Amino acid sequence: MIKVSFAASRPEGAYALAIPLRSEDNVAERLPGLEAGARNLAVRAAEAQRFEREAGGVAEAFVEDGGQVRRLLLVGLGAQRDDPALYEKAGGALTARLLTSGETKLVVDLTGTDLRADEAARLAFGAAARSWRYDQYRTKLNRKQKPTLEEVVIVGAADSEWGSKAALLEGLDLTRALVTEPANIVYPESFVERARAAMDGLGVEFEVLDEKQMAALGMGALLGVGQGSVRPPRLLAMRWNGGKTGAAPVVFIGKGMTFDTGGISIKPALGMESMKWDMGGAGAVTGLMKAVATRKAKVNVVAVCALAENMPDGNAQRPGDVVTSMSGQTIEVINTDAEGRLVLADAMTWAQRQYKPEVMVDLATLTGAMVISLGHEYAGMFANDDALAGKLEAAGKASGDKLWRMPMNDEYNKIMDSQIADMKNSASREGGSITAACFLGRFVEEGVKWAHLDIAGMAWSDKAGSLYDKGATGYGVALLDRYLADNHEG
């Protein structure tokens, strides 16, 4: 990602200059540092590009400034000052315009605006987040494809709020890298090592269970999913003790299918390569731990990753098999491609017994039905506690990682009953994301406030967004970081 710094005045030398404008601002009046001719040119360029100062809109011109030609960008802040993720959107729009433009430095001049320190930090965060690229495996990039932007300087604002945003960027970077890596590079064992390396020196405690330890604990659901792969499953737990000693931690659990073929219920070949990101939930909670530990958050947090690979080997579990979960409940496996809920079931039971949390939230790229319901604008949220749901929804609005609450009730839950076991892992196509959530709800213990976030439509994008290019979005890191900051940090 690009480097971010703050300064009291514009630097000398070559750089691109960006000026933010609200809907009511006059373009010429927001350019006091330029000569009349340059201001007139900027106004005409904005009019020609139909720049209406809308949020994230950008108009561009080349003007004379201090004896040299400078690229000038006008970026819109819109009219709604409480628009969620407004400043992140503006910062991201600037980077999207300049990332491969040939410019190496961008100066965003906030002088004369009313942006607070936190709003300036959010704009800088958006600019840095949008610059993320993963070119490790690209050996041939032509000149126009190579990123050139290296630095963003924020002028006229304090950097007092930047520390927490810089930490969040660290977590976002980790999540995106994990989600982007192919399955021959990131698999259960190597995921654990990547996480260890990323947390080195931060004070995060690790616990890792191998297949023998999971078998001894009775994790038949998780082990059943991974038994068809030569890559053995792992259960990874990371703990950050930043809160009061002895206080119950907030527990986050991530689905970590490092590759999902569907198993014996094999997926169609077309598009199967995308199933490398079926560990988006595990990637998100790992990135969260990086962010929390980096900024030394005053809260006790545990992240649990249920890591496995779902393959159609001769030893793979079959449709019709019955497995016994760690909770003691039995599950008839109707569809081996409904595997995420199986690994989560055992991870949830273990986490509750190990850490006794008051609050537990799981994230999973769980169902295609969620994408049909909400597309790629919202993740689906299911919860057994209205207050928890409200807090998560508020954090989603504030962070830009939006959530939409979905229903759960006994009628949906009954659909998951099996004739030969306590439950089945798959039912009819109707309401598929809801019945999957009901399945998970059977593994929530008495008194635990729980939410399930189905992020199937959000972890990966086939088109660029305001804070990401095509590919891994890093969804969930900012959401959960904001939720902790607003509700659990002392």
Rg (CA), the chain: 24
- Residue 470 appears among annotated catalytic residues: no
Question: What is the distance between the alpha carbons of residues 298 and 313, in angstroms, rounded to a whole number?
Answer: 46
The whole-angstrom separation of Cα 271 and Cα 305 is 25
Burial 201-237 (b: 16+ CB within 10 A, else e): eeebeeebbebeebeebbbbbbbbbbbbbebbbbbbb
Signed CA dihedral, 340, 343, 346, 347: sign only: negative
Torsion of CA 54, 57, 59, 65, to 10 degrees: 90
Contact 304, 344 (CB under 8 A): no
Q: Is 53 in the active site?
A: no
Strand partners, 237: 207, 304
CA angle 186, 479, 339 (to 5 degrees): 45
User: In this structure, what are the phi and psi dihedrals at residue 233, rounded to the nearest 5 degrees?
Assistant: -75, 160
Cβ count within 10 A of residue 305: 30
Query: In a 10 Å sphere around its CB, with 0-12 CB exposed, 13-18 middle and 19+ buried, how is residue 421 labelled?
Result: middle
Burial class (CB in 10 A: 0-12, 13-18, 19+), 29: exposed
- Are the C-beta atoms of 119 and 22 separated by less than 8 Å? no
Give the residue among 52, 316, 305 at the shortest CA–CA distance from 199. Answer: 305
**Structure token pair of residue 32:** 């006091």
Check 10, 70, 116, 267 and give the catalytic one: 267
Handedness of CA 330, 336, 338, 343 (dihedral sign): positive
Partner residues linked to 68 by β-bridges = 65
CA distance 97 to 94: 5
Residue 45 has a CB neighbour count (10 Å cut-off) of 18
Choice among 39, 122, 290, 341 that is catalytic = 341
Active-site positions?
267, 341
